[in-house]
Amino acid sequence: MDFGKFQYEQQRKERKARKNQQKVEVKEIQLKPKTDEHHLGFKLKRARKWLEEGKKVRVRVRFRGREITHSHIGRERLEEILAELSDVGVAEQKPSLEGKDMVMILAPNTN
C-alpha cells in the first residue's frame, strides 16, 4: 500500500470522528458566601434548566479578603446546592478550594 494513501485514509477517519463528536458545554454560576436566599433561588433555577438540557454546571463560590478564613461557609453552601439539585444532577467534582475560589462541577443525571 502507498504511504500517501495510508495517510489520506487516516486523515479521513480522524475528520469523520471529529464530526461525530459531541461537545459538552459547561455553564457557570458564581456566588459569594454572603449571597442571600432570594438570589440563590434564581441561580438554582437557571442551573436546574441547564442540567435538564444536558449541560454541565460549574458552581463557584468566590471569597474576598478575610472571607477565606471561613471557607466552611462556602462548602456548606455548595453542599446545599448539591442537595437541592440532586434530582437532576450529580457531583462530578466535589467542592475543592482553588486559590480564592471553591469550585464544584455538576453533571446531568444519566437516567
- At the fourth CATH level, the homologous superfamily of domain 24-108 is Translation initiation factor 3 (IF-3), C-terminal domain (3.30.110.10)
What is residue 24's predicted lDDT score, i.e. its pLDDT?
Answer: 78
**pTM of the entire predicted model:** 0.75
What is residue 21's predicted lDDT score, i.e. its pLDDT?
Answer: 77
> What amino acid occupies position 23?
K
Angle among Cα 92, 96, 101 to the nearest 5 degrees reads: 115
- Residue position matching grid coordinates 432570594: 38
Q: How far is CA 23 from CA 2, 46, 55, 82, in A?
A: 35, 20, 10, 24
Question: How do residues 72-90 score in pLDDT, each as one tens digit?
Answer: 999 999 999 999 999 999 9
What is residue 48's predicted lDDT score, i.e. its pLDDT?
Answer: 94
The strand ranges marked E within 6-100 are 26-31, 56-62, 89-98
Render each residue's pLDDT in the chain as its tens digit; 111 residues.
Answer: 689 999 999 999 999 888 887 777 899 999 999 988 999 999 999 999 999 998 999 999 999 999 899 999 999 999 999 999 999 999 999 999 989 999 999 999 876
Q: Which of 64, 84, 87 is nearest to 74 (CA)?
A: 64
